Amino acid sequence: MKRIFLGMCFGMVATAGFSQQAARMELNTADAKTTISRHIYGQFSEHLGHCIYGGYWVDEKLDVPKKDRIRLDVVEALKKIRIPNLRWPGGCFADEYHWRDGIGERSKRPKMINTNWGGVTEDNSFGTHEFLELCSLLNTEPYIAGNVGSGTVEEMSKWIEYLNSDGESPMTQLRKANGRAQPWKVQFWGVGNESWGCGGNMTPEYYANEFRRYATYARNYKGAPLKKIAAGANSGDYNWTEVCMKNIPKQMLWGLSMHYYTIPTGKWNQKGSATKFDEKEYFNTMKNCMKMEELVTRHSAVMDKYDPEKKVALVVDEWGIWTDVEPGTNPGFLYQQNSLRDALIAGTTLNIFNNHADRVRMANLAQTVNVLQALVLTKDKEMVLTPTYYVFDLFKEHMDAKLLPLQLSSPDYINGSEKIPAVNASASVDAAGRIHITFVNLDAKNAITVNTTIAGHTAGKISGRILTSGKFTDVNSFEHKNKVVPTVFKSFKKNGAALSVTLPRLSLVSLELE
């Protein structure tokens, strides 16, 4: 049994006296002070495999609705879940991408080899204008990662000028010549990516100096003050965070990133299958997923030393499950199926981010289409929405709502000699006073009833939706697209301030209390 106190964080201490199938939770509407940034629900799309080419950007002859070559059924699906931002062009690709190769007449754009992902030819037909048109169609904010690894200060500075300046200059004239009169006013700007690895194999001290140099020439233009994001730590490299927070002036920083992937086996050379795994591997995957709580807590603690007012955001701009690729696919394309297990990972991770909303103010799932933990899979004319897509649909009402800190006592989910908390949750209250609670029950065997007290809220209308399926390996395939989809949920009772909710095994539940 674990007693989990969720204030602004998600911690665990042991307790006793509760049934293995019961949990308790307390909320108080008077505690709603911190805003859950909508940007926690951001997405990431890299020039990798069929995310861009064959995902968003399709052949002119493909018989699907499109604008130019942007696939509109994918756009409409993402609009329904109101994705708040989209990170591009990478990832590792960002630090070999030279933006001028991707502007102007497409037939004249130079080709290149994508050395990070499969060694395929990149024709640069999808570049700056195409990406920002995609963002416009999605009604989402662009988040661009600039090239520090193989680029120059001048190159990054002039890209920003091309995007955001409305003055008289060679870059604005070039933009206008390429068909865009008004600046786009892009604000989210990544200064490099994974500079500890594929972005240059730098030391944190060297990167901090490089950030200061690049950021100096990353100018603000009228109506577009940049939100500069430093390339932060790999997983538990707390020294990287320490050095960056110590050596980079806070006025230069909007955010500091951190990357963490859930690996089912914990081994990068043999990660595990996306669809064929037993309960032991499922449990191990969920245990590895929950490490995000420790990472966010400890990186936040380092940041607090240098930024006690929490002005600098922790930006988890790559997260999700990473498995072995599907058999028969290009290993450099990172194509994997998406199961109920992945949905439970997404829900658990988003609950963690919500509960750390005082510091985590941006995050980006890797990746949106056809790569890693994708929301959407495409095959020629067909499209399928994955279980993870529906998690973002269930959770979207938390965006820009006020966090309701929780006190949660959860039973354990036990596998062999190991155990993890079976239930996790987050809650918020929106501008209209509606309370939204998202629960996840990770237990593969037991339904769990959560007895909740909500101080400051009287009985009213309640509605709910649930995402679950018979097996944690269940997927939505092109043959069976609706195997794992949300349905109406009614297993709850409300009596005054008391709420009782029974969560089936392997389930995600979203409640709205009016």
Q: Please tell me which residue in 130, 161, 318, 397 is annotated as part of the active site.
A: 318
176-196: pLDDT as tens digits: 999 999 999 999 999 999 999
pLDDT, tens digit (0-9, with 9 covering 90-100), for 95-121: 999 999 999 999 999 999 999 999 999
Over range 388-408, report the average pLDDT: 97
What are the helix (H) ranges across 381-505? 387-395
> Cα dist. 253→226, 232, 300 in Å?
10, 12, 15
Is pLDDT above 70 for 15?
no
Residue 19 has pLDDT above 60, yes or no: no
In this structure, what are the phi and psi dihedrals at residue 45, rounded to the nearest 5 degrees? -135, 120
Measure the CA–CA gap between 86 and 131, rounded to whole angstroms: 9
Tens of pLDDT, residue by residue over 286-340, are: 999 999 999 999 999 999 999 999 999 999 999 999 999 999 999 999 999 999 9
Mean pLDDT calculated for residue range 445-449: 96
pLDDT > 60? residue 5: no
Task: Quote the pTM value.
Answer: 0.94
Catalytic residue among 96, 122, 141, 194: 194
**Nearest CA-CA partner of 195 in 313, 122, 90:** 90
Q: For residue 305, what are the CA distances in angstroms to 236, 293, 298, 450?
A: 17, 19, 11, 36
- pLDDT number for residue 458: 77
Please give the Cα distance from 325 to 305 (Å, whole number). 40
Is residue 8 classed exposed, middle or buried when 0-12, 13-18 and 19+ CB atoms within 10 A define those classes? Answer: middle
Q: Which residue has the higher pLDDT, 64 or 497?
A: 64
3-state SS, residue 78: helix
Residue 2: the pLDDT is: 42
Mean pLDDT of 375-390: 98
**Is residue 144's pLDDT more than 80?**
yes
Could you read off the pLDDT of 457-478 as tens digits, one per residue? Answer: 876 899 999 999 999 999 999 9
Mean pLDDT, the chain, rounded, equals 95
Alpha-carbon span 493 to 175, nearest angstrom: 59
- Would you place residue 264 in the very low, low, confident or very high pLDDT band (cuts 50, 70, 90)? very high
Residue type, position 329, single letter? T
Identity (one letter) of the amino acid at 365? L
Cα 190 from Cα 318, distance rounded (Å)? 13
The three-state secondary structure class of 367 is coil
Cα 251 to Cα 295: distance, rounded to the nearest angstrom: 25
Cα–Cα distance between 260 and 251 in angstroms, integer? 26
Task: Give percent of the chain above pLDDT 70.
Answer: 96
Structure tokens at 427: 């809650």
For residue 109, give every residue at least 6 positions away whose Cβ sits within 8 Å of its Cβ, in sequence order, or none.
101, 102, 103, 123, 124, 125, 127
Confidence of residue 166 (pLDDT cuts 50, 70, 90): very high
Q: Hey, is 238 helix, strand or coil?
A: helix
- Indicate the helix (H) or strand (E) that contains 104: none
Cα of 189 vs its chain's centroid, Å: 16
**Catalytic residue check, 194:** yes
The tokens of 321 are what?
A: 């499950």
DSSP 504: P
> Over 80: is that where the pLDDT of 455 sits?
yes
Tokens of 14: 């042991």
State residue 281's pLDDT score. Answer: 98
Q: Taking residues 35-61, report their average pLDDT.
A: 98
Please name which of 6, 139, 32 lies closest in space to residue 83, comparing C-alpha atoms: 139
346-356 pLDDT, tens digit each? 999 999 999 99
Mean pLDDT of 16-44: 86
- Express each pLDDT in 199-224 by its tens digit: 999 999 999 999 999 999 999 999 99
Predicted confidence (pLDDT) at residue 497 exceeds the cutoff of 90? no
Residue 337 identity:
Q
Start-to-end C-alpha separation, the chain: 32
318 assigned to active site: yes
**270 upstream amide cis, omega within 30 of 0:** no
**How far apart are the C-alpha atoms of 354 and 342, rounded to whole Å?**
18
- pLDDT band of residue 17 (cuts 50, 70, 90) is very low
Q: Is the pLDDT of residue 6 over 90?
A: no
Q: In terms of Cα–Cα distance, which of 101, 147, 95 is closest to 123?
A: 101
Domains of the chain in start order, with CATH, are 2-34+403-513 (2.60.40.1180), 38-400 (3.20.20.80)
Q: How far is CA 72 from CA 180, 213, 235, in A?
A: 22, 40, 35
Kindly state the tokens that stand for 13.
Answer: 């201490």
Percent of the chain with pLDDT over 90: 94
Confidence (pLDDT) at 496: 83
Strands 42-44 and 85-88: parallel
pLDDT tens column, 425-434: 999 999 999 9
* Each residue's pLDDT tens digit, 71-91: 999 999 999 999 999 999 999
List b or e across 279-296, with b for residues whose CB sees 16 or more CB atoms inside 10 angstroms. Answer: eebbbbbbbbbbebbebb
Residue 37's alpha-carbon distances to 41, 109, 363, 400, 490, in angstroms, are 8, 38, 10, 5, 29
Please tell me whether residue 265 adopts helix, strand or coil conformation.
Answer: coil
Buried b / exposed e along 68-93 (16+ C-beta atoms within 10 A): ebbbeebbebbeebbbbbbbbbbbbb
